[in-house]
């Protein structure tokens, strides 16, 4: 009797730990992908503000990072990843799942279009805001407000 | 021009005399400020819809707000009597006495800003001036653009200025504006003191006002206002340029 109870408790503990471990993994991965996208946008941002000269190769690499990461992100918001792991994801994500994941599709599409139109500095200044504008739009609705 | 009582058929009482309370430049300033503030908010809030992710409209509007605020500060010394700061800066005793009485029963009527209104005006002008100045150092969320003076600050200081630019409006100024509107509505409809109409027409019913029986309008108010506006623009744009500011892509066409 006691052994079964202990077994049951041990089993429950292992299952629970297993579930929590899955959550944290997904949260960690998506945070890393998002931060990487943010980092890649730093140099193009400096080009937009004319702090550094325009460099097509850097922008191209940033766009590649965005396309790669944004393609992976829709799958990284399962139902059991709403909390923990210092996630800044707001519940609104799961309330508007389709709208949310649609934003990643748009980001990929915008980034691909920008890649195709990457000519000189003026083309860049037209194209880049269309890509980077997606960042703020999503954050406004779906990320915890940073003070 | 000083003693200017006119029968006012629009007040509902045919033949009721009115007096001049606010000069035209002051009234133009007030409503232009309202329009610009709404525009500044909307051009940020709906920048995505407007297709203006580099916030050109927002930044132009902010610079215009800053210019007319500087103008108002000048007008506070060179404008008509009811616009001059020294004429409505309330002494603490006056303020407490007015505040105590105003909330209980019909207190003395003022031609220009009453003591509580004066405090509100100083608060609003101060907050909006701070808001506009913070915008000069603010960086856009997606790093696409920034105010003309952002380079004067370190990365950390920029982040601080940026979050204050947001926070100050959302958490403080907007509530003061709401209170300002509510108070004016209350005075107009509960105390029969037509403040809002006066800020449009410039006139109030003749009466026994605590501060003055009529406003002393400066000579050639529009010319004077125009000259001070030029000075204000020079102060703002010249000041930014002199500080080493750089206007990022502001072309609207």
Helix ranges, B23-112 (H):
24-45, 47-50, 56-78, 85-88, 92-102
pLDDT for residue B201: 97
Contact B53 A133 (CB under 8 A): yes
pLDDT for residue A16: 55
* In chain B, residues 156-195 whose CB comes closer than 8 Å to chain A: 163, 167
Question: Tokens 């007096």 identify what position?
Answer: B19
d(CA B23, CA B6): 15
d(CA B30, CA B28): 5
Name which of A132, A139, A146 is nearest B144 (Cβ-Cβ).
Answer: A132
Does the structure show a pLDDT above 90 at B240?
yes
The mean pLDDT of B113-142, rounded to a whole number, is 96
Contact A136 B249 (CB under 8 A): no
pTM reported for the whole predicted model: 0.86
Distances (CA, A) of B245 to B1, B139, B150, B239: 44, 14, 8, 9
Other beta carbons within 10 angstroms of residue A45's beta carbon come to 22
- Is B6 near chain A, with CB under 8 Å? no
Chain segment A6-48, per-residue pLDDT in tens? 777 766 666 555 445 458 999 999 999 999 999 999 999 999 9
Sheet of B6-8: strand order equals B6-8, B16-20, B203-205
**In chain B, what are the domains?**
6-242 (1.20.950.20)
| Best mutation target, A59, A136, A140, A144, to test chain B (most B CBs within 10 A) | A136
Contact A48 B54 (CB under 8 A): yes
The mean pLDDT of B97-117, rounded to a whole number, is 83
Contact B144 A146 (CB under 8 A): no
Beta strands in chain B (DSSP E): 6-8, 16-20, 203-205
Other beta carbons within 10 angstroms of residue B152's beta carbon come to 15
Top mean pLDDT of A81-90, A122-131, B33-42, B190-199 is at B33-42
d(CA B53, CA B60): 14
Q: Find the radius of gyration of the CA atoms of chain B.
A: 20
Distances (CA, A) of B105 to A40, B101, B140, B184: 63, 6, 48, 16
| DSSP annotation of B171 | I
- Is B220 near chain A, with CB under 8 Å? no
Chain segment B61-93, per-residue pLDDT in tens? 999 999 999 999 999 999 999 999 999 998 888
Other beta carbons within 10 angstroms of residue B17's beta carbon come to 15
Other beta carbons within 10 angstroms of residue A46's beta carbon come to 15
- Min Cα distance B121 → chain A (Å) is 28
Beta bridge partner(s), residue B146 = B139
Give chain B positions within 8 Å (CB) of A45: 142-144
ipTM of the shown complex: 0.78
Classify burial at B253, counting beta carbons within 10 Å of its beta carbon; exposed 0-12, middle 13-18, buried 19 or more.
exposed
Q: Pairing mode, if any, of strands B6-8 and B203-205?
A: unpaired
The mean pLDDT of B150-173, rounded to a whole number, is 96
Does the structure show a pLDDT above 60 at B10?
no
d(CA A24, CA A81): 8
Please name the residues in contact with B176: beta carbons below 8 A apart, sequence gap of 6 or more: B120, B123, B124, B127
**In chain A, what are the domains?**
2-142 (1.20.120.10)
pLDDT tier for residue B1 given thresholds of 50, 70 and 90: very low
pLDDT for residue B12: 52
| Best mutation target, A133, A140, A142, to test chain B (most B CBs within 10 A) | A133
Chain segment B206-217, per-residue pLDDT in tens? 988 988 888 999
pLDDT tier for residue B234 given thresholds of 50, 70 and 90: very high
Contact A139 B141 (CB under 8 A): yes
pLDDT for residue B170: 94
pLDDT for residue B9: 45
b/e B167-191 (16+ beta carbons within 10 angstroms → b): ebbeeebeeebeeeeebbeebeeee
Chain segment A96-117, per-residue pLDDT in tens? 999 999 999 999 999 999 999 8
- Report chain A residues touching chain B, CB-CB < 8 A: 41-42, 45-46, 48-51, 125, 128-130, 132-133, 135-137, 139, 146-147
pLDDT for residue B2: 45
- Min Cα distance B38 → chain A (Å) is 20
- Is B141 near chain A, with CB under 8 Å? yes
Mean pLDDT of chain B: 91
Give chain A positions within 8 Å (CB) of B140: 136
d(CA B141, CA B139): 6
Residue closest to A111 by CA, chosen among A69, A63, A71: A63
- Min Cα distance B175 → chain A (Å) is 19
pLDDT for residue A14: 61
Calculate the dihedral angle through the C-alpha atoms of B86, B87, B93, B94, rounding to the nearest 10 degrees: -160
């Amino acid at each position: 009797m006691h052994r079964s109870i202990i077994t049951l408790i041990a089993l429950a503990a292992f299952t629970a730990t297993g579930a929590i471990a899955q959550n944290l993994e997904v949260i960690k991965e998506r945070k890393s992908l998002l931060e990487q996208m943010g980092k890649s946008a730093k140099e193009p941002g400096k080009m937009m503000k004319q702090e550094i000269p325009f460099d097509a190769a850097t922008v191209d690499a940033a766009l590649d990072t965005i396309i790669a990461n944004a393609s992976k992100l829709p799958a990284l918001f399962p139902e059991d990843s709403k909390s923990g792991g210092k996630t800044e994801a707001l519940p609104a994500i799961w309330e508007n799942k389709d709208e949310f994941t649609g934003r990643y599709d748009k980001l990929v599409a915008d980034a691909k279009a920008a890649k195709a139109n990457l000519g000189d500095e003026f083309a860049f200044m037209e194209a880049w805001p269309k890509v980077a504008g997606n960042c703020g739009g999503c954050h406004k609705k779906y990320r915890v407000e940073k003070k | 021009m000083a003693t200017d009582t006119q029968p006012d058929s629009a007040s509902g009482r045919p033949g009721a005399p009115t007096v001049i309370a606010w000069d035209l430049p002051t009234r133009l300033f007030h409503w232009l400020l309202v329009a610009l503030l709404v525009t500044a908010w909307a051009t940020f809030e709906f920048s995505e819809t407007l297709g203006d992710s580099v916030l050109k409209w927002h930044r132009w509007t902010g610079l215009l707000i800053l210019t007319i605020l500087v103008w108002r500060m000048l007008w506070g010394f060179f404008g008509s009597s009811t616009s001059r700061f020294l004429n409505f800066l309330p002494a603490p005793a006056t303020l407490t006495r007015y505040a105590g009485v105003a909330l209980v029963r019909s207190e003395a009527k003022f031609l220009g800003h009453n003591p509580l209104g004066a405090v509100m005006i100083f608060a609003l002008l101060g907050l909006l001036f701070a808001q506009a100045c913070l915008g000069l150092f603010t960086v856009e969320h997606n790093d696409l653009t920034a105010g003309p003076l952002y380079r004067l600050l370190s990365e950390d200081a920029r982040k601080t200025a940026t979050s204050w630019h947001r926070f100050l409006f959302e958490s403080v100024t907007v509530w003061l504006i709401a209170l300002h509107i509510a108070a004016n509505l209350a005075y107009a409809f509960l105390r029969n003191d037509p403040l809002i109409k006066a800020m449009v027409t410039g006139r109030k019913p003749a009466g026994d006002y605590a501060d003055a029986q009529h406003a002393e309008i400066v000579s050639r108010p529009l010319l004077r206002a125009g000259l001070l506006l030029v000075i204000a623009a020079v102060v703002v744009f010249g000041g930014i340029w002199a500080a080493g500011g750089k206007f990022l892509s502001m072309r609207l066409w």
